[in-house]
Structure 1
Amino acid sequence: MAGALAVGHPRCILISRALRVRHLSVWSSIWTETGSSTKTTTSSSSKSSSTSSSKAEHKKLTNRLSAVVDAVNERKLPAELRGRGNAIRSETDIANVVEQRIWHSMEEGHFENLPGKGKPLNLDTNPHVDPAEDMLYRILSRNGCAPEWVELNKEIRSNISEWRLALQKAWTSKVVQEGSHWEQESERLKALMRDINGKVLRYNLMVPFGRQIFGLKWEKEIDKLQ
C-alpha cells in the first residue's frame, strides 16, 4: 500500500510491542477471572496471594505500556529535543529548533538555487485567503475600485488628522487665553471623537483579520499635548 511504513520500521516495532502488551494485559485479566471462578475450594490466604500477584502483574504491564507510549512520543520530536526525560518541551522550543535548521541551511547555501530565483513574484492570487474573497478583490482591482474597508480606512485617517489639528489649536488657545472657550470646544471635540470611534468600530468589523486599528482616547490625546 502506498505511503505505508515498512514492517521493520522502528515506529511499527514500537506500535507492535504496544499492541502485544495490551493483548497480554487483556488475556492476563481474563485468565485471572477464569482461574478465580474455577478455584472455588482454595483457602482465603491463597486467594489473597493470587490477588496481590495479579495486581503486581497488572502494574508491571501498565509500566511497560507507558514506556512504549513515551518512546513513540519521543520519536515524534526533533532530534535536538530528544533524550530529556520528563522535561517539558513547549512550542517555543520546537520553533527555535526550526529557526536554527533554517539558518544552518542558509549558511550552507541550500537556498541559493531555488526555482524562480531572480524572477518577480506572482501576486495575482493570494493562497492565504478564501478563494471567493480573493476573486472579489481581483474584480474590484480590475475595475479600478477598492474594497469598502480600504476607503473607510482613508476616511478615518483623514478625520483623525483633522481632529488632532483642531484639538491642538483649541489647547493652544486655552493656554494663551486661559481657557476662555475651552469647555465648549472640548465638548465639540469629544462629540467628533465619538463619531470617529464609531467609524473605527465599523471598520474593525469588516476588515480582514490582523488589520484592525485603535480608536481615539481623550485622556491619551490630552497627555500628548501637556
Structure 2
Amino acid sequence: MDMFQKISEERIKKAYKDGEFDNLPGMGKPLKLEDLSAIPEELRMAYKLLKNAGYTEEENTLRQEMMSIEDLLKKCQDDDRELLQKKLNEKLLRFNQLMSKRGKKTNSSIFKNYEVKIQSRLK
C-alpha cells in the first residue's frame, strides 16, 4: 500500500468513527444497479457519460429523422414538399422542447433557418 492509500484509509476510518456516514441518503438500502447487459462492454462507459449528461435516445432518433426528412425535401417533387415540411416542423418543435428541458440552445443551421422563416412570417 502506498502512502496515499494509507492516508485515505485512515481518513475513511476516522469519518466512520465520527459518524459522518450515518445519515447518508439510501443508507441501509440496496443499491439500484442499472442493467447494462444489452450494451457492449466497450460502449458502457460512453453510454453512462451520455446518459449522465442528459442525452436521450429520443433526441438521437429525432436528429436522424430530421436529417432524413431534409434529404427527402432536397430531392422531392413539389407535391410532397408540403407534407414533408410539416413533418420536419413537428420534429423540430419536439427536438427544441427536449433541448429546452436540458437548458440547451439549438445552434444548428437547421434551427437558424427555421427561426428566420418564423420571424419573416410574424412580420
TM-score when normalising by structure 2: 0.40
Task: Point out which structure has higher relative CO (alpha carbons under 8 A, 6+ apart).
Answer: 2
Larger Rg: 1
TM-score when normalising by structure 1: 0.25
